[in-house]
Amino acid sequence: MNKKSRRLSLLAMAGLSLYWVIGAARPAQAMHIMEGFLPVGWAVFWWMVALPFFVWGVRSLAQITQQNPNLKLLLGLAGAFSFVLSALKIPSVTGSCSHPTGTGLGAVLFGPGVMTVLGSLVLVFQSVLLAHGGITTLGANAFSMAIVGPWVAWGVYRLFESRQQHKIGIFLAAALGNFVTYLVTSIQLALAFPAATGGVMASFGKFAGIFALTQVPLAISEGLLTILVWNWLQAYAQPELQTLKSIKGQEVVQS
């Protein structure tokens, strides 16, 4: 497949994904953590925690796009993949919901810093276009889905990559990146709304237990789907993947 065909293929997949989600959108009955649900103090706290990661991610993203402009379509695909999956929601805990996150793929490809930016942008567009989440709760949602999830996914994949077990690493990165997102969300909700009896731990047990019913099968499904997309990239985006491989090689040499 020539360069033009590869670029068209990547662009078509990203565009079709976005069209499908926006065209199929329905009024939201539940969200990541919905607008206004967190007390003001906690909303501000999570904004302050998330911002440094976002700034660092912007610097990483700018460096990649300036030095390797041919990766922009792959970046768009990673963002579109996250947008599509995280828009598919299943009502769960009051004030929140269960859904795939799609951040594992971008974290594996570009690292957790870049995925923090892409994931945060996904959350902004979803809050504005689909009424998923909100601006006041953006810091909390970004910390769980666009920061902790990608870091876990990246760490898991690097562990298995060093053992040449790429497919297992891809599956576990996507699945665990998804699941840990909701463990963090459970902690955030427990801190904001401790139980009258048992406090934060009792509240966390309640939130995490409810989330697990839907999130475990979703995490497994996301892991399998991410492997399918990875196989597609192996077939149609080899030049871009080789560029990313060379970037990682340079980072290892510099370290």
Could you give the number of structural domains in the chain? Answer: 1
Domain for residue 115, yes or no?
yes
- Residues 228 and 5: their CA atoms lie apart, in Å, by 20
pLDDT, tens digit, 9 for 90 and up, residues 21-73:
334 333 333 347 888 889 999 999 999 999 999 999 999 999 999 999 989 98
Residue 3: inside a domain, yes or no? no
Per-residue model confidence as pLDDT tens digits over 96-117: 567 789 999 999 999 999 999 9
Give the H/E segment covering residue 234: helix 199-236
Give the mean model confidence (pLDDT) for residues 82-93.
75
**52 HSE (CA, 13 A, CB side):** 4
Domain housing 102: 30-244
| Residue 13 belongs to a domain | no
In a domain, 250, yes or no: no
Nearest CA to 37 among 192, 182, 201?
192
Tens digit of each residue's pLDDT (9 = 90 or more) over 4-18: 555 545 554 444 444
How far apart are alpha carbons 58 and 79 in whole angstroms?
A: 14
For residue 220, give the CATH number of its domain. Answer: 1.10.1760.20
Q: Is residue 233 part of a domain?
A: yes
Note whether residue 8 is domain-resident: no
The reply to whether 50 falls in a domain is yes
Contact between 234 and 64 (Cβ < 8 Å):
no
